[in-house]
Structure 1
Amino acid sequence: MASPITASIGTGSGMDIGAIVKVLVDADTAAKSSQIKRQTANNTAMISGVASLKSALSTYQAALKGLNNKDAPSFLAFAATSGNEKAVAATANNTAVPGSYQVEVVKLATSSRVASKVFSGADAPISQGTLEITQNGKVYSVEVGANATLQSVRDSINSTLGKDGITANIIDDGKGARLVFGSTTTGKGSDISVGGIPELVISNTTPMAGTAAGRVGELAIDAEVKIDGMTVTSKSNKLDKTVSGLTLELKAEGEKSTVTVGLNTEGLKKDVQTFVDAYNNLVKTVNSLTSTSKDEDGNTVLGPLTGDPTTRSLLASLRSELAVAQTGGGLTSLSQLGINTAKDGTLEFNDTKFKAALNDKKLGSEVQALFTKDDGVIARMNKAIDPFLQSGGSLDKRNDALNRSQRYLESQQQALNFRIDSLTTSLTKKYIAMDVAVGKLKSQAAGITSLFDAMNAQAKK
């Protein structure tokens, strides 16, 4: 920044040198200063606008990801309810058939649990070697190094085999510390046996007794369930292939429940509305960033990204994907579900048309595919967004260009500040020199005047 000009009254001329210099400096630099300030303000606003746009896009993409979650599927055409959630939980997918099923849980599938012999404590030494854990005919190996302890072996098992569902822990049953093995795998034949290191050998055929190693409880068994009177066995308590389009999660033995499958109208509507809301929130943000309005004085006020080509390109890409018609099936476009584009670019969701598509045209089972299949709406939206949002994409490049402009404007301001300082110093020196000269002339004039006054006084005498 330029140093402030200190006002000073010339002793010789009586002029306000500081004020005069400031006026002259301002006249020379004001136009350039105004230009830099205006461009800096516009550039700063655009940087902020790009950041807001990127944030809105990220929020929209996160919403799409939530709707396309494979572990918690959205757009399900059918909903399953269990009359007794303590006995069984039920979910339906798009291949389900409306109806009801009588479910009785006879037995739950169990997993294997075996324990080592008793040790003095978690710090008990364990021999070096390869620990072999066998389950379902597959052998899992864990290397045990020198100076190992019961605790370090436990940690090695969990870090190595945790991904396979096999874990271990140390439990003191009052007789001493045991290394207890467990598994998330259930069903008959999934029992664990351990070998390879002498003091950790465990047979699943022998029940644990006294201080010896052995099986904890009974051998693993399959689940047994009756569905409409028919007996079904399963290695897992989650049955996802027994009844077409229906997943049953068994929870308690000796319990019964009626599972009902029906059209998921409200669930579908909620998911579609979530998509519409997410898209509209993005469009509203873009509209606010590119808007044109009038202030109180009637002057035109532009948004930070008004006329920005990157933003226009983004909107065009997204809108074009909404209009794509998919092939195959009876449901090929969003408009069939009552989703249409309004004048401001947002989406309108017609509830009446949506319900007609589900109830009259029976399109419910096709909604999920429309949105989530490989070439569905969500995949196409993500494909349109990626060039803008990805690292090094359009928005990053736009932001880099704006930051370069900002640095250039800062350098221009620094150069202008230097000119202001230099011009102020130069003009001040010149006016001070002029003031000194004027002071000298005034002093000489005063001396001459005094001389003549003295001569006149002498003549009168």
Structure 2
Amino acid sequence: MASPLTSGTGLGSGLDISSIVKVLVNADTAAKSNQIARQTSNNSAMISGIGALRSALTAFQDAMKKLNDKDAPSFNAFVGSSANEGIIKIKSSNTAVAGSYDIKVEQLATASKVASKQFVGGATSSISAGEMTISQGGKTYKINVAAGATLQTVRDQINKEMSANGITANIVNEAGGSRLVFGSTTTGAGSDISVSGIPELAIDGTRQMSGSGAGYISAKAQDAKFSIDGLLLTSASNTVENAISGLSLELTGISPKDSGGNITSSTKVTVAADNDGLKKSVQSFVDAYNTLQKAVTSLTATSRDENDKLSLGPLTNDPTTRSLLADVRKVLSETGAGDKLTTLSQLGINTQKDGTLEFNTVKFNAAMNDKKLGPEIQELFTGTNGIFERMNKAVDPYNSAGGSLDTRKSNLDKVAKDLANQKAALERRTESLTESLTKKYVALDAALGKMKAQADQITSIFEALNAQAKKS
């Protein structure tokens, strides 16, 4: 409700009513208003600080996750290279050994591809109801074909029920009719597909199709054949593990052959120590940690302005943040479970006065070249109870959903809501008090105005009497 008089001077008294009311209301509410404003500012700063801290922790954990990617390991002591990735690609693990190998690929592993007999009626050709059996590599799969099925509905049913097993089907339209063609993601000799149970869809995957009949299309499934330094090997897959200890080979093409089918040249594969790659990975960890440390420092630091007034960071003296820092720094000083490499200091990594890490590359190079610690770096960082595992165990109780920082944020949000309610209540009291006092002073002004009018009237009477007395 609007106050009856919010500004101006009293007509009866000449008093500045609005200024008087404002001073009185401020005297009553200023202390509480300042307290709410101060607490709101501090609470908002805390909420902002907790948010910034969680963002920094998440970025740090994401950086460790990237360095600990199982599909692209960052701490391999060795790196493999191929002279021709069109024939063979190579990945090295931490158990590889430096060396070089000459590899020849005679043939690649292939999957089974078979086709049914021709159907003149195309995709809408009728298929008999019954139980279809698909066989591959000693495994059998059953599909119940319902009455009224067509070549297309059978294809759709196969793809729905068999795709998880790596078997798919499609319809190929050729001159003279359509065929149901089966394919597979499984490679290697003996993985040929056969179909039985439905007479018109029967396929013997070990026989080549002839004329309009069923069978394999061009060749039976086969193993890869290749040699390493003259030693002959076979593989059911084109991805070959442990043919060379610590290496994964991916056969991507066939080696050059002459007109007689003889391989004319080999592809050289080389494995070498990857000290530069290890240094880059270690530096990435140091940078990620230092980014976290600097973020925490900015949130907890104190400073003085130009008037020498002390200014505190949003999380200065915050016990949760202090506890987090202690837990994280503890991980850096703990001894790992490795053999020769157990501490970061052995790699030239040490904590500086400001809490950040220093990476001494001279000491690192000595550890790699003189002490041969490269193969143990992966275990130190990514192994069981390694730095990454222990660091995440230290951070998770704070940064995970439902963790201490999450709980802290929820509590601060409740405080913010309570302060907002207090502010709203104080604003209502200010409005009510302003209205009440204004009414009282307006009434006082009216009374003073009436008294003044009466005084003026009495004065006029006396003046009239005095004037009359003088005339007589």
TM-score (norm 1): 0.94
Change (3 A) 1:334 1:4: farther
Do the aligned residues in 1 keep the contact of 2:338 with 2:376 (CA within 8 Å)? no
Tell me how far 1:149 sits from its aligned partner: 5.1
Q: Does 1:455 align with 2:465?
A: yes
**Which 5+ residue runs of structure 1 have no aligned equivalent?**
none
In structure 2, the residue matched to 1:133 is: 134
Which segment is superposed worse, 322-331 or 427-436? 322-331
Q: Secondary structure at the match of 1:243?
A: coil
Tell me how far 1:153 sits from its aligned partner: 4.1
Matches within 5 A, 1:91-110: 91-110=91-110
| Matches of 1:70 and 1:396, distance apart in 2 | 29
Q: Does 1:230 align with 2:231?
A: yes
In structure 2, the residue matched to 1:79 is: 79
Tell me how far 1:123 sits from its aligned partner: 5.5
TM-score (norm 2): 0.91
Do the aligned residues in 2 keep the contact of 1:2 with 1:418 (CA within 8 Å)? no
Which segment is superposed worse, 433-442 or 282-291? 282-291
In structure 2, the residue matched to 1:49 is: 49
In structure 1, the residue matched to 2:219 is: 218
Do the aligned residues in 1 keep the contact of 2:88 with 2:252 (CA within 8 Å)? yes
Matches within 5 A, 1:385-400: 385-400=395-410
**Which 5+ residue runs of structure 2 have no aligned equivalent?**
257-265
Tell me how far 1:239 sits from its aligned partner: 1.6
| Matches of 1:149 and 1:49, distance apart in 2 | 66
In structure 2, the residue matched to 1:368 is: 378
In structure 2, the residue matched to 1:165 is: 166
| Matches of 2:397 and 2:215, distance apart in 1 | 59
Q: Secondary structure at the match of 1:185?
A: strand
| Matches of 1:99 and 1:38, distance apart in 2 | 69
Do the aligned residues in 2 keep the contact of 1:12 with 1:436 (CA within 8 Å)? yes
In structure 2, the residue matched to 1:70 is: 70
| Matches of 1:150 and 1:284, distance apart in 2 | 66
Tell me how far 1:337 sits from its aligned partner: 0.9
State the Cα deviation string for residues 228-265 of structure 1 (Å, max 9, x = none).
11111111111211111122111111243111111011
In structure 1, the residue matched to 2:263 is: none
Q: Does 1:380 align with 2:381?
A: no
**One-letter amino acid of the structure 1 residue matched with residue 85 of structure 2:** E
Change (3 A) 1:396 1:129: farther
| Matches of 1:96 and 1:260, distance apart in 2 | 11
State the Cα deviation string for residues 105-161 of structure 1 (Å, max 9, x = none).
111111111223445455655555544322110113345556655455444434443
Q: Secondary structure at the match of 1:139?
A: strand
CA RMSD after TM alignment:
2.3
Change (3 A) 1:279 1:141: farther
Which segment is superposed worse, 226-235 or 448-457? 448-457
Q: Does 1:334 align with 2:344?
A: yes
Matches within 5 A, 1:382-421: 382-421=392-431
| Matches of 2:16 and 2:60, distance apart in 1 | 62
In structure 1, the residue matched to 2:205 is: 204
Tell me how far 1:201 sits from its aligned partner: 2.8
Say which of 277, 282, 285 aligns to 1:267.
Answer: 277
**One-letter amino acid of the structure 1 residue matched with residue 202 of structure 2:** V
Aligned length: 461
**One-letter amino acid of the structure 2 residue matched with residue 180 of structure 1:** V
Tell me how far 1:428 sits from its aligned partner: 0.8
Do the aligned residues in 2 keep the contact of 1:115 with 1:214 (CA within 8 Å)? yes
Matches within 5 A, 1:247-266: 247-255=248-256, 256-266=266-276
Q: Does 1:279 align with 2:289?
A: yes
Q: Secondary structure at the match of 2:389?
A: helix
Tell me how far 1:172 sits from its aligned partner: 3.1
| Matches of 2:463 and 2:150, distance apart in 1 | 119
State the Cα deviation string for residues 364-399 of structure 1 (Å, max 9, x = none).
111111111111111111111111122211111111
**One-letter amino acid of the structure 1 residue matched with residue 231 of structure 2:** M
Do the aligned residues in 2 keep the contact of 1:129 with 1:143 (CA within 8 Å)? yes
Which segment is superposed worse, 280-289 or 206-215? 206-215
Do the aligned residues in 2 keep the contact of 1:2 with 1:417 (CA within 8 Å)? no
**One-letter amino acid of the structure 1 residue matched with residue 204 of structure 2:** S
In structure 2, the residue matched to 1:315 is: 325
In structure 2, the residue matched to 1:113 is: 113
Which segment is superposed worse, 357-366 or 231-240? 231-240
Q: Secondary structure at the match of 2:242?
A: strand
Do the aligned residues in 2 keep the contact of 1:5 with 1:424 (CA within 8 Å)? no
Do the aligned residues in 2 keep the contact of 1:118 with 1:211 (CA within 8 Å)? yes
Change (3 A) 1:436 1:199: farther
Change (3 A) 1:418 1:92: same
| Matches of 2:146 and 2:431, distance apart in 1 | 74
Do the aligned residues in 2 keep the contact of 1:5 with 1:22 (CA within 8 Å)? no
**One-letter amino acid of the structure 2 residue matched with residue 28 of structure 1:** D
